[in-house]
Amino acid sequence: MIHVFLDDARRCPPGFVHARSAEECLLLLKECEVDVLSLDYDLGWGQPSGMDAVCGLIAAGRFPRRIYLHTSSDVGRQRMYQALYAARPDGVQLFNGPVPEETLREIARASKP
């Protein structure tokens, strides 16, 4: 089980796998069981956005257990949240904001050998 942090610019939190593009994120969702997915919206000029990752995961039906939206784009956050809310299966937790500090600490602690 892994945790995925989709962002092209921010530092990846300890215990997460860093996906720098929508394509990397979708590949991780396809190949791995994902517990926490934290999404950014803007992934670089002219590049697919976090919304593209959301559309891909919905189309593939590859939902993680928990989804957080850490983007600073209010419009992007709302678009992703609305699409995910409408499509998420029972049991998938969706949060309209970043991963809480306590959860980040728990994930970091659990990833240490």
Task: Give me the residue spans of the domains in the chain.
Answer: 2-97
Structure confidence by residue, pLDDT tens digits, 84-97: 999 999 999 999 99
CA distances to 2, 52, 72, 99, 112 from 103, rounded to whole Å, are 14, 26, 20, 7, 15
**pLDDT given at position 112:** 82
Q: Does domain 2-97 have CATH number 3.40.50.2300?
A: yes
**pLDDT given at position 19:** 98
Residue 69 clears pLDDT 90, i.e. is over it: yes
**pLDDT given at position 113:** 75
Structure confidence by residue, pLDDT tens digits, 9-68: 999 999 999 999 999 999 999 999 999 999 999 999 999 999 999 999 999 999 999 999
Annotate 35-63 with b (16+ C-beta within 10 A) or e (fewer). ebbbbbbbbeeeebbbbbbbbbbeeeebb
